[in-house]
Amino acid sequence: MNQTLALRIPEPRVLGALVAGGIAADLAWEVWARVVTPVFVGGPLQPAALILSLFRLPGDYYPHAEVLHLMTGALFYPLIMWAIRAYIYRGGRVVDGIIIGLFTWFLALGVFAPLAGLPFMLGFIKLAWFSGIGHLAYGLVLSFVFHALARER
């Protein structure tokens, strides 16, 4: 039997739950990045700075990079979580959150950082680990809010 991968899009109720989860997760990330991390690391996590380095943009574009990062967290990563769940694996609230959290951390520091000329995973310095915790928190908040609103198990 010839089976093809049918492309689906989330229904409006599910899309709304994904965006709400993404916004809540972005808020959790921002608190972790700008309030908690500086206490322990000496400075905030700055994903916009990574975006500027990645695209070789001057500092004038910092606000644009902030918006891009927020949009990615509110819409694009939630859609990736949905696609993983739809096509690859449904693990439940905790597992879904860990998967998307680790995925976003690896994408940021394992792929984008080296493309921007920085060390892989920033050489696993303290800031990289705080980024990892922040991405896991992001993933868990995204997953828990999504599951609660979409009433998915």
pLDDT band at 5 (very low <50, low <70, confident <90, very high): low
pLDDT, tens digit, for every residue of 31-56? 999 999 999 999 999 999 999 999 99
Please tell me the predicted confidence (pLDDT) of residue 90. Answer: 86
CA distances 138 to 24, 81, 96, 144, Å, are 8, 12, 11, 10
pLDDT, tens digit, for every residue of 127-141? 999 999 999 999 999
pLDDT, tens digit, for every residue of 50-96? 999 999 999 999 999 999 999 999 999 999 999 999 889 888 999 99
Question: CB neighbours (10 Å) of residue 64?
Answer: 14
- Residue pair 140/22 in contact by the 8 Å Cβ criterion: no
Please tell me the predicted confidence (pLDDT) of residue 116. Answer: 97
Task: Kindly tell me the burial class for residue 129, based on how many C-beta atoms sit within 10 Å of its own C-beta (0-12, 13-18, 19 or more).
Answer: middle
Check pLDDT > 60 for residue 2.
Answer: no
Please tell me the predicted confidence (pLDDT) of residue 143. Answer: 97
Domain residue ranges of the chain, discontinuous segments joined by +: 12-150
